[in-house]
A and B are shown apart, each in its own frame.
Chain A
Amino acid sequence: MSKDLEKEYKELAASETPDLWARIEAGLDTKKSSRKHIPYAAWAAAAAACLCVAVIVPFQTRNALSGGSGMDMAAAPEYAAEGIDASGMDRGGADARYCFAATVEILEADVRRNSGPVYTARVLDTDNAELRIDSEIQIYAPADDREALLEERQTYVLNLLEEMLDEGMVYRIAE
């Protein structure tokens, strides 16, 4: 009589697997539970909106009183200093790109046949306020980078592009 391999195999695996949940739960990063993406973005957008109003309204009022033609171009550096695009509030939107520097430790290098390497890296330092220190990210490198791979367990300072695509946030090495 033949025995059902798949059924018995799964039963055997289940019987031999220890209960590790308590140990895993004890090792989870508790900071994660206090992270709130949406409120942070909402506060940043609200602060940017208030700044715009605070800057634009006095100028518009002054120009209206003096018969001027529009916004003072001297206001432009303030937007630049705040990191806000003069045409919008944030750097989101389809295919929007944001360039920033990051110090990362390469954990894994995945060399792919038909595209550039993909690295799993831990963030050690960055000027991107939305990227958490010690988080792990995936970094996509250009196809011609296959010749000069970043090494695992080494630390690099990279210029990265942050892209918001339909499938989520993607990081690429800036060319």
Chain B
Amino acid sequence: MEEKQFSACMERMKLGDKNALHEIYEAYVGYIYSIVYQIAANREDAEDVTSEFFIKLWRLADTYHGGNGHRAWMASIARNMAIDLLRKTKREVLAEDFGDYSEENASKECIEQQVISDMNLRQALDTLKPNEREIVNLKIMGDMTFQQIADILKLPLGTVTWRYQNAVKKLRRCGYE
């Protein structure tokens, strides 16, 4: 969805047009769900936060001023909501701390059980660290620049590009370009 189209939907939402929210939902539910799932790490919580995100977007339409970068704006809100949920449920897992153990186990499984080039994409993505997956997700689903991703994740630009390049190398080994 283009910036103008998004702003127009938000204007219609101010007047109570639910179809406008539905248009935004159709365009971005996959994007928002993927961002939230990277953090929540389970379907039930990801569904809860994604639903609450669109309900919050409905209310935020009242004070939305438009401008550039609605994808980054939504990603930031969704991400914060997911992190808030983790904090509330006292699961102190933050993006930076996502278990290295999962990457280690996944890669052992990858080498022992699979011919790498025969992996499907889900398996290939499981070889990435969670913080690498998060960056890949924002890059592909959000079509964002590295600077925008760095701003959302509050990381240095160099860290974002380095992690992305690492992720791409791993995926390339699995046959994805």
Interface on A for B, CB 8 Å cutoff?
Answer: 1-6, 8-10, 12-14, 16-18, 20-21, 23-25, 27-29, 32-37, 108, 132, 135-138, 167-170
Complex Cα distance, B16 from A21, in Å, reads 16
- Asked whether, in the complex, the Cβ of B140 is within 8 Å of the Cβ of A9, the reply is yes
Partner of A20, one of B18, B54, B141, B177: B54
Give the residues from 104 to 129 in chain B that come closer than 8 angstroms, CB to CB, to chain A. 121-122
Also in contact, A24 and B55, with CB within 8 A (given A8-B176, A9-B121, A33-B16): yes
Complex Cα distance, B54 from A170, in Å, reads 23
Partner of B63, one of A12, A108, A137: A137
- Asked whether, in the complex, the Cβ of B176 is within 8 Å of the Cβ of A17, the reply is no
Partner of B177, one of A4, A14, A16, A28: A4
Give the residues from 1 to 39 in chain B that come closer than 8 angstroms, CB to CB, to chain A. 13-16, 18, 21-22, 25, 29-31, 33-34, 37
Q: Which residues on B sit within 8 Å (CB–CB) of A132?
A: 62
Complex Cα distance, B121 from A136, in Å, reads 40
- Asked whether, in the complex, the Cβ of A5 is within 8 Å of the Cβ of B141, the reply is no
- Asked whether, in the complex, the Cβ of B67 is within 8 Å of the Cβ of A136, the reply is no
- Asked whether, in the complex, the Cβ of A5 is within 8 Å of the Cβ of B140, the reply is yes
Give the residues from 51 to 75 in chain B that come closer than 8 angstroms, CB to CB, to chain A. 51-52, 54-56, 58-60, 62-63, 65-67
Complex Cα distance, B19 from A28, in Å, reads 12
A69–chain B nearest beta-carbon distance, Å: 47
A67–chain B nearest beta-carbon distance, Å: 53
Q: Which residue of B lies closest to A15 (CB)?
A: B30
Also in contact, A8 and B121, with CB within 8 A (given A17-B33, A167-B66): yes
B31–chain A nearest beta-carbon distance, Å: 8
- Asked whether, in the complex, the Cβ of B29 is within 8 Å of the Cβ of A20, the reply is yes
Complex Cα distance, B24 from A28, in Å, reads 14
- Asked whether, in the complex, the Cβ of A135 is within 8 Å of the Cβ of B30, the reply is no
Give the residues from 39 to 92 in chain B that come closer than 8 angstroms, CB to CB, to chain A. 43, 47, 50-52, 54-56, 58-60, 62-63, 65-67, 80
Q: Which residue of A lies closest to B141 (CB)?
A: A13
Q: Which residues on A sit within 8 Å (CB–CB) of B18?
A: 25, 28, 33
Also in contact, A10 and B121, with CB within 8 A (given A1-B175, A135-B59, A138-B63): no
- Asked whether, in the complex, the Cβ of A29 is within 8 Å of the Cβ of B25, the reply is no
- Asked whether, in the complex, the Cβ of B140 is within 8 Å of the Cβ of A6, the reply is yes
Q: Which residue of B lies closest to A138 (CB)?
A: B63
